[in-house]
Structure 1
Amino acid sequence: MVDLLDVSRVKCYRLFKERLKQSPSDVIMSLRFQKAEALLKTKKLNISEISFECGYNDPKYFGKAFKKHFGKSPKEFKDQFS
């Protein structure tokens, strides 16, 4: 991203914080969770497959991070749309 924007890493970080009030890693994580949310609502993939689709190599870590973000586990989230 730094190469694409042709700015330093520090400048990139400052731009994100200034404009979006989030760090670049927080923005990326938020986008991953938006994708996970959409995939969980479709019910076509299991939770492990969704974690891999969203860029997480460890489904357990994905589950913990998801629960921290949404307040419920991916399974609980998926079950509410049954």
Structure 2
Amino acid sequence: MNGDEQPGPDEIEQCFTEVLDGRMSREEADRRAWRWVTDDDLVWDDVSWWALGLLHGIGLRNGPDEDFLHDGEQVRQWLEELRRRRM
């Protein structure tokens, strides 16, 4: 995606998948979601907005040098729910 295109649900789902596969850091997924959430030129459907709300915050930790607030199983459940909602 170049900076001028609206990301679609596939791209949001891909971020979750890449985090779970270890191909994208949680911090990168969080930054990407933040850019999308704060871009006033982008318009989101309800499912995409719901998923972005989860993706933006995926890198939160319980504290400095602590585990992530949401573990891998929770992220996997979000991805499964996203896929169900997209049907």
Provide the TM-score with structure 1 as the length reference: 0.30
* Rg larger in structure: 1
Provide the TM-score with structure 2 as the length reference: 0.29
Give the structure, 1 or 2, with the largest relative contact order (CA under 8 Å, sep 6 or more). 2
